[in-house]
Amino acid sequence: MNATIQVNSKKYKVDLNKPLDISMPLRASKSNANAWYIGAPEIQPVEIDDWVASVKKGASINFNTIQFNPHAHGTHTECVGHITEKVYSINKCLKKFFFVAELITVAPELQGEDYVISKQQIQFLLKRKMPQALVIRTMPNTTDKKSRQYSNTNWAYLTEEAAEYLKTKNIQHLLIDLPSVDKEKDNGALLAHKAFWDYNGTLRKEATITEFIYVPNKISDGSYILNLQIAPFENDASPSKPVLYKIE
């Protein structure tokens, strides 16, 4: 179904029948993607006395309790409340849901003992484009990203300079296929988060960071309309479902 979506003052044609889902499903399994040193998500039927809320076990309904951490267990979108003493909710900060996005593919560079995504790489790939959202796919891009156990792996990350550059380009929404835009063990420095949200300046309360996405190789680099969907959690982060639509 062809549709016209207006983002700010410009109209874009997309085919709503061709969504490109770049989220990862959350599964109650040890093979669910994971980070930050905690166990797998759990999905269990409620038990009250001898009653188990599972159709398979004789109940009339399935009625499950889900235990997970949005930051550790899959695709999630977070706001500046992730790093501030004052409480900010993603449900309050994310007020619009359609954006012009650019998808780029980056091979992180070796810097000392770390692999990083640099300002120069992003500059080269973005050229003069100024999208509202930037989607970063890292190489190598294998399907095991959807089940990788990231704890204690020193994953690739965004340099502070790169995050500062994205802020100056007024990119409002940053999406990446890593557990964090920052180094796994940085003693709480959070340099990329702080630079992107202008932590030491005027807080960018409407800006978001989405981590733990997965962009299949069949999706080409280029311009898209992004539909950034979240659950309405009053929390710094929510599980999310970013969906791209190719601009016709």
Give the tens place of pLDDT for each residue, 28-38.
999 999 999 99
Q: Is residue 109 part of a domain?
A: yes
The mean pLDDT value of the chain amounts to 97
Q: Is residue 235 part of a domain?
A: yes
Provide the 3-class DSSP secondary structure of residue 126.
helix
Q: Is residue 49 part of a domain?
A: no
Q: Is residue 130 part of a domain?
A: yes
Report the alpha-carbon distance of residue 20 to residue 105 in Å, rounded: 16
Whether 203 and 80 have beta carbons less than 8 Å apart is answered as yes
Q: Is residue 222 part of a domain?
A: yes
What is the 3 state secondary structure string of the chain?
CEEEEEECCEEEEEECCCCEECCCCCCCCCCCCECCCCCCCEEEECEECCEECCHHHCCCCCCEEEECCCCCCCCEEECHHHCCCCCCCHHHHCCCCEEEEEEEEECCEEECCEEEECHHHHHHHHCCCCCCEEEEEECCCCHHHHCCECCCCCCCEECHHHHHHHHHCCCCEEEECCCCCCCCCCCCCCHHHHHHCCCCCCCCCCCEEEECCCCCCCCCCEEEEEEEEECCCCCCEEEEEEEEEEEC
Give the tens place of pLDDT for each residue, 95-129.
999 999 999 999 999 999 999 999 999 999 999 99
- Res. 204: pLDDT tops 90: yes
Whether 90 and 235 have beta carbons less than 8 Å apart is answered as yes
Q: CATH code at 226?
A: 3.50.30.50
Residue numbers of the domain that contains 159: 2-24+73-246
Report the alpha-carbon distance of residue 122 to residue 120 in Å, rounded: 5
Q: Is residue 48 part of a domain?
A: no
Q: Is residue 63 part of a domain?
A: no
Q: How many structural domains comprise the chain?
A: 1
- pLDDT value at residue 1: 82
Whether 229 and 218 have beta carbons less than 8 Å apart is answered as no
Q: What pTM, to 2 d.p., does this model score?
A: 0.97
Residue 57: Cβ-neighbour burial (10 angstroms; 0-12, 13-18, 19+): exposed
| Least confident stretch, 3-7, 28-32, 45-49, 186-190 | 3-7
